[in-house]
Structures are given as C-alpha cells and as structure tokens.
Amino acid sequence: MKSSPKKEFSNQLDLINGLILSIFVVLLLFLGVLGYAIFDPSFSRFSGFFNADSDEKNEFLAEVESEEVVDGIHVETGFIDAPGMVATIQNCTGCHSSSLVIANRMNEERWIETIRWMQETQNLWDLGENEKVIVDYLVTNYPPKKIGRRANLENIEWYELED
C-alpha cells in the first residue's frame, strides 16, 4: 500500500528527530569526556576499565626492594623515611637515582615545574594523586637551605702538610 504524502512526511520527521537526538547524545557524551579530560588528562581513574589488566601501571613503577630503615633513613635509597616516601621511590627512581632527588632542594612551585619538565621531555607519566603526595614529601623533608651569597667552608678534613 502506498502511504499518503502526509504519513511519509511524518515518518521523515520522526527520522530527523531521531537523528538530531542521537547527534545530541553523542555530542553530550563527547563534551562529558572532554570535560573530564581537563581534570584527568590521562584518564587515570579509568585505567582499570580500559586496560584488561588494571594493575598494569603499578607493575611498571619502581619497586621498594627492602624496607630496612636505620636512623630514619631508608637504607636502600637514602631517602628520609616519612609519609610519601614509597610513592617517591616508585615514581622517581625508575629513570634516575635517589641521590639526584636528595641533592635537589626546591619549593613546591619549582618541584612542580621540574615534574612538568620531566613529563614534557623525559617521558614521566601523569602522577595523578601521587603528585601532591610526592611534592609534599619533598618540600617537607628536603626544604631549600638558605646559603646566601657565599657559605663558610665546611667539612674541612684537616691534615699535616709536610714540606
């Protein structure tokens, strides 16, 4: 049976409505994802969802091999044993040694700058919530020392100089 022009028009209208609705839904989803990406660009919260193996990332972190602590110092790395140390070992000592971290004394702003530089040029990953943990650990335990324009000579090993 041939449909009347009116019915055909109504069918087409339904089709167009459906199309508009689906475009709208897709757009909304896209905006949602985009909005989320602003806050979590690496989608770290979904890493388990997108990854077949949700522990994949943890496996890549450097491991704390020994928990031995003497006089408040973690023997294996030389780090001060304090909150945030484990995250610091895991995320920082994969590419360079702990001594490089310990030797550097910076405030929060400059540590974050350094992390950004490592992310831009050295393939450091997004640290997510650990960024604050690590930066807090560093500025608390390794604060910048005021040494002024020229410090005293220190740790001089005195010895008898023979002629």
Partner 1 sequence: MNRRKFISKTVLASMASALGMDIVFGSRLPKGLLPLGLSKQDPFELFSKDKDMILLNDRPYNMEARPHQLDDDITPNEYIFVRNNGLIPNEVDVENWTLSIDGESVISPKTYTLSELKTRFTSHSYQLTLECGGNGRSEFDPPPKGNQWSLGAVYCAKWTGVRLKDILEDVGIKSDAVYIGYHAADSHLSGDPTKEAISRGVPISKAMMEETLIAYQMNDQDIPLVHGYPLRLVAGGWPASASGKWLERISVRNIVHDGEKMGGTSYRVPCSPVAPGESVADENMCIIESMPVKSLITYPKTGAMISDKKLSIRGHTWAGENSVIKMEYSIDFGSTWKECDLKKAPNRLAWQRFSAEVEFPQEGYYEVWAKATDSDGVSQPMLVPGWNPKGYLNNACHRIAVKVS
Binding interface with partner 1 (CB under 8 A): 42, 56-57, 59-63, 65, 94-97, 99-100, 103-107, 110, 114, 117, 121-126, 144-151, 153, 156-161, 163
Give the Cα separation of 130 and 153 in Å (integer).
38
93's tokens: 């000592």
Q: How far is the CB of 7 from partner 1 (least distance, A)?
A: 50
- The span from the CA of 146 to the CA of 162, in Å, is 37
Please, which residue, 122 or 140, has the CB nearer to partner 1?
122
Separation CA 82–CA 115 (nearest Å): 20
Write down the least CB distance from residue 144 to partner 1, Å: 5
Based on CB atoms, which residue is closest to partner 1, 69 or 106? Answer: 106
Output 4 or 152, the one with its CB closest to partner 1: 152
Q: Nearest to residue 141, comparing CAs of 62, 64, 96, 77?
A: 77
In the bound state with partner 1, the residue whose beta carbon lies nearer, of 89 and 133, is 89
> C-beta of 146: minimal distance to partner 1 in Å?
6
- Per the listing, tokens 């640290």 go with 127
Query: Position of tokens 């500025």?
Result: 139
Min separation Cβ 43 and partner 1, Å: 11
CB-based contacts of 81: which residues, under 8 Å, 6+ apart?
69, 72, 73, 74
State which residue, 24 or 60, has the beta carbon closest to partner 1. Answer: 60
Residue 122 per-residue DSSP state: S
